[in-house]
Amino acid sequence: MSDPTATTSTVSATVPMLRKIDCIMMQVADLAAAVEYYQRVFGLRVFWQRERSVGLTMPETDAEIVLHIESDIPGPVEPYYLVDDVVAAAAFYTSQGCSALVEPFDIEIGTCAVLQDPFGVRLCILDMTKGLLATE
């Protein structure tokens, strides 16, 4: 008799998995005002800062809230999922019915791409193939 609480995975080790939510990217009009607000109102702390973006941390996760003023980053608020290799993951996901909205492109820590699943949901994926972002 099988254990009804046991889970079995049909995902093989070669399928590029969404490993975790790496960050939530949030486009804002005024970066300094948004950072001050998120610190004061939500209790977030600055983890790293660049000229056009700031990473804020929450106490119970390593996922970041990234406030930015980049007009070329797709979407006003979206989760970004960490994968091992964006190029391989994007190729696999498109072969499984996703469409590429933004082909893989370089970012400071690795590569990023934006896909859409067959149900209309956007999936932003990134990898850290260039290493972690240096914090201040």
CATH number, domain of 70, equals 3.10.180.10
Q: What total of structural domains would you count in the chain?
A: 1
15 falls within a domain: no
Residue type, 15: V
What confidence score (pLDDT) does residue 4 get?
41
> What order do you get walking across the sheet with 45-49 strand by strand?
45-49, 53-57, 64-68, 20-27, 77-82, 122-126, 110-116, 99-107
| Contact indicator for 57, 44 with CB cutoff of 8 Å | yes
Find the domain containing 91 and state its range: 20-126
User: pLDDT tens across 10-57, in order?
Assistant: 555 678 899 999 999 999 999 999 999 999 989 999 999 999 999 999
97 falls within a domain: yes
| Contact indicator for 105, 91 with CB cutoff of 8 Å | no
30 falls within a domain: yes
Which residue bears the tokens 């056009």?
Answer: 52
Closest CA to 112 of 120, 100, 101, 124: 124
118 falls within a domain: yes
Q: What is the mean pLDDT of residues 4-9?
A: 43
User: pLDDT tens across 53-102, in order?
Assistant: 999 999 989 999 999 999 888 778 889 999 999 999 999 999 999 999 99
